[in-house]
Structures are given as C-alpha cells and as structure tokens.
C-alpha cells in the first residue's frame, strides 16, 4: 500500500469578489461588523489554507489616509500568524498606495497593534475623510480605541516579529 503525504497549502493573496460572502461570514463569526466591507473589498487580503479562506484584513482608503479594518482569523486557525501576516500586507499595500496615515478602531486588540507601529490617538484627531467613514461614524462604538500609524515615519513591518492572533 502506498502512503501519500498530504501537505497544507497556505497562502495569502488579494481578495477577489468570490471571497466576499466568506469574508462577511468570517467577520460575523468573530463578532466584527461587515458594514462597509463590500465597498472597500478591492483593498482586502485573505489568508487561505487548502483553498479555504480562514483570515481576512482590509484597507479602506479615505482620501490621503486609510483605515485598517476587519482583521479577523477563524477561531480554528488562530495562533498561526495569520492576523500578523495580513496586517503587515495591508500596511505594505497602504504604503505603496501612497496612504500617509493608517487608522483603526478596536475594542479588543489595543495591546496587539503597537507591534506594527500603531499608537493610540484621540478619535477626533482623525482627518474628516476618515471620520466620515462608516467605520468611524456608525459601526464602531464610541468606546472603541482609536489608533494611528504614520506610514512615512514607520519602518517597514518586520515579518519576523512574534505575533499573537487576534482581531480588531
């Protein structure tokens, strides 16, 4: 009898329209809002294992600034570096797109994002284009912690930095 080893195929890639329903389901499963995702989905990344989307993270461009949003990892796939990997990729994509500052709102992961250079800020300090986003206007509660990353000052994210899976 011949035994064939099965290898996991693990990759990250730019999201495609066919990933939208799965991404929205994943966000719902981990308790993150899906509002505004469809409109920004062209700038999302996904993590895929054996052809199944198991992680997601997105960039919402707001004028010259942006929002890191919807960082989510399926509970069965946490602690495997998916969240950190996708966060680094979104930061790199924002930098390449000419985004000056990247903002985020979180109710659960304020201690996790500083490893990428994010620092806390006042929510009202965000520029009008960011404040006008559905994420800032309607989706995230006033109690959410606002964070910002100055991309022109921040070093390129270190792909060797240790990480812990979480979501924003």
CATH of residue 115: 3.40.630.30
Looking at residue 8, its pLDDT comes to 66
What mean pLDDT do residues 13-40 have? 95
Task: Name residue, tokens 């505004």.
Answer: 36
User: What is the distance of C-alpha 20 from the center of its chain?
Assistant: 14
The pLDDT confidence band at residue 154, using thresholds 50, 70 and 90, is low
Is 6 a residue whose pLDDT tops 80?
no
Domain assignment present for 4: no
For residues 125 and 25, give the distance between their C-alpha atoms in angstroms, rounded to a whole number: 32
The answer to whether residues 130 and 95 touch, using CB atoms and an 8 Å cutoff, is no
pTM: 0.85
pLDDT band at 162, cuts 50/70/90?
very low
- Torsion on CA atoms 117, 122, 110, 74, rounded to nearest 10: -100
As a whole number, mean pLDDT of residues 133-142 equals 93
Q: What is the pLDDT of residue 3?
A: 45
Going by pLDDT thresholds of 50, 70 and 90, the confidence category of residue 156 is: low
Do the beta carbons of residue 77 and residue 55 sit within 8 Å? yes
Residue partners of 34: CB distance under 8 A and separation at least 6? 24, 27, 28, 70
3-state secondary structure of 154: coil
Report, as an integer, the average pLDDT of 150-157: 70
Q: What's the structural domain count of the chain?
A: 1
What value does the mean pLDDT of the chain take? 88
159 found inside a domain: no
Under DSSP, is residue 54 helix (H, G, I), strand (E, B) or coil?
strand
pLDDT of residue 155: 57
**Residue 162 domain flag:** no
pLDDT digit string, tens, across residues 37-53: 999 999 999 999 989 99
Q: Residue 155 domain-assigned?
A: no
Helices (H), 97-163: 128-131, 134
156 domain residue, yes or no: no
- pLDDT at residue number 81: 87
Q: What percent of the chain has pLDDT over 90?
A: 77
- For residue 20, the enclosing domain spans 10-150
**pLDDT for 21 beyond 80:** yes
């Amino acid at each position: 009898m011949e035994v064939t080893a099965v290898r996991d195929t693990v990759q990250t890639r730019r999201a495609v329209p066919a990933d939208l329903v799965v991404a929205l389901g994943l966000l719902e499963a981990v308790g993150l809002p899906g509002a505004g995702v469809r409109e920004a989905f062209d700038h999302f990344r996904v993590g895929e294992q054996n052809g199944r989307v198991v992680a997601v993270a997105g960039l919402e461009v707001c004028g010259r600034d942006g929002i890191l949003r919807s960082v989510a990892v399926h509970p069965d796939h946490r602690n495997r570096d998916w969240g950190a990997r996708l966060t680094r990729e979104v930061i790199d994509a924002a930098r390449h797109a000419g985004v000056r500052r990247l903002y985020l709102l979180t109710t659960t992961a304020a201690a996790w994002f500083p490893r990428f250079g994010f620092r806390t800020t006042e929510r009202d300090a965000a520029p009008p284009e960011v404040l006008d986003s559905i994420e800032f206007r309607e989706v995230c509660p006033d109690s959410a912690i606002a964070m910002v990353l100055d991309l022109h000052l921040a070093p390129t994210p270190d792909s060797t930095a240790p990480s812990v899976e979480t979501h924003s």
